[in-house]
Amino acid sequence: MGILPMKQDAHPLCDYYLQGAEQLGWPLTDDFNGADFEGAGVYEANISKGQRDSSNTAYLKPALQRSNLTLLRDVRVEKVSFAAGKHAESVVFVQNGTEKTAAAKREIILACGAIDSPKLLQLSGIGDRESLAEFNISEVQHLPAVGQNLQDHLCLSYYFKAKVKTLNDDFGSLLGQAKAGLQYALNRRGPLSMSVNQAGGFLRGSGRSAAEYSAVF
């Protein structure tokens, strides 16, 4: 996966943001993926040749060439089935209205996100005993924490008028659009090749951990 530092091509307004953060006494950081990510800085982005380099394009598509990998589309997983004890042996899923089973030879990797992963565990009999009984799901393992402590990712946006040119101003004219288009067409650089969120920070709003706070610019 291509990791592109955006410092070289970030909009000049980002410099004013970093200067402001420094004046307020906030730390600056050059690496949000480092050991200590607290501070304000210019982001890195997963971009390759001017396009977003997602998990799909960077890993899955190349891996589909392997003979030992099969990708099934439009599938809804119903549950993980267990053999005697707590040994996961297969996955039950529905495809085109037909229930099917995929048996595991070695292991089953559950990667359904923060919402569907605990849901699938519960449907498979792993979760709080009382919650499972409420829906007549046979218990495999009593784990009360499954599905608990989920938190919303809240966002509060502020908008300000700028005294200097912004990216919107650059794109607000035919000349600015043509310039950006030419940059991208010739060398896959410029604003069309980058994330719209170019700078931000993880900053403390109180004495708590900086990981609990983030700001995007």
Query: Does the pLDDT value for residue 3 go beyond 70?
Result: no
Q: Which long-range CB contacts under 8 A does 119-122 form with residues at least 24 apart?
A: 119/147, 120/77, 120/79, 120/80, 121/80, 121/146, 121/147, 122/146, 122/147
Q: Considering all CA atoms of the chain, what is the largest pairwise distance in Å, rounded to the nearest integer? A: 69
Residue 163 within a domain: yes
Residue 78 within a domain: yes
Mark which of 107, 142, 177 sits at the end of a domain.
Answer: 142
User: Containing domain of residue 33, as a range?
Assistant: 3-50+157-216
Residue 215 has a pLDDT of 57
Q: Where are the beta strands (DSSP E) in 57-108?
A: 75-82, 88-95, 98-103
CB burial class (10 A; 0-12, 13-18, 19+) of residue 207?
A: exposed
Strand partners, 79: 92
Mark which of 142, 167, 195 sits at the end of a domain.
Answer: 142
Residues 6+ apart with CB under 8 A from 189: 9, 50, 183
Q: Which of 67-71, 183-187, 200-204 has the least mean pLDDT?
A: 200-204
Residue 92 has a pLDDT of 96
Confidence of residue 9 (pLDDT cuts 50, 70, 90): confident
Both 75 and 134 in a single domain? yes
Residue 74 within a domain: yes
Both 120 and 91 in a single domain? yes
Residues 6+ apart with CB under 8 A from 15: none
User: Could you tell me the pTM of the whole model?
Assistant: 0.66
Both 162 and 138 in a single domain? no
Both 74 and 99 in a single domain? yes
Both 82 and 114 in a single domain? yes
Residue 95 has a pLDDT of 94
Query: Does the pLDDT value for residue 85 go beyond 80?
Result: no
Mean pLDDT of 10-27: 91
Residue 63 within a domain: no
Rounded Cα distance, 182 and 66, in Å: 38
Confidence of residue 145 (pLDDT cuts 50, 70, 90): very high
Positive or negative: CA dihedral 122, 124, 129, 135: positive
Q: Which of 92-106, 111-125, 149-163, 203-217 has the least mean pLDDT?
A: 203-217
Mark which of 117, 142, 167 sits at the end of a domain.
Answer: 142
User: Domain tally for the chain?
Assistant: 2
Rounded Cα distance, 159 and 141, in Å: 49
Q: Three-class SS of residue 167?
A: helix
Mean pLDDT of the chain, nearest integer: 87
The predicted-structure confidence for 50-66, as pLDDT tens digits, reads as follows: 888 888 888 899 999 99
The predicted-structure confidence for 130-142, as pLDDT tens digits, reads as follows: 999 999 999 999 9
Residue 174 has a pLDDT of 93
Residue 164 within a domain: yes
Residue 35 within a domain: yes
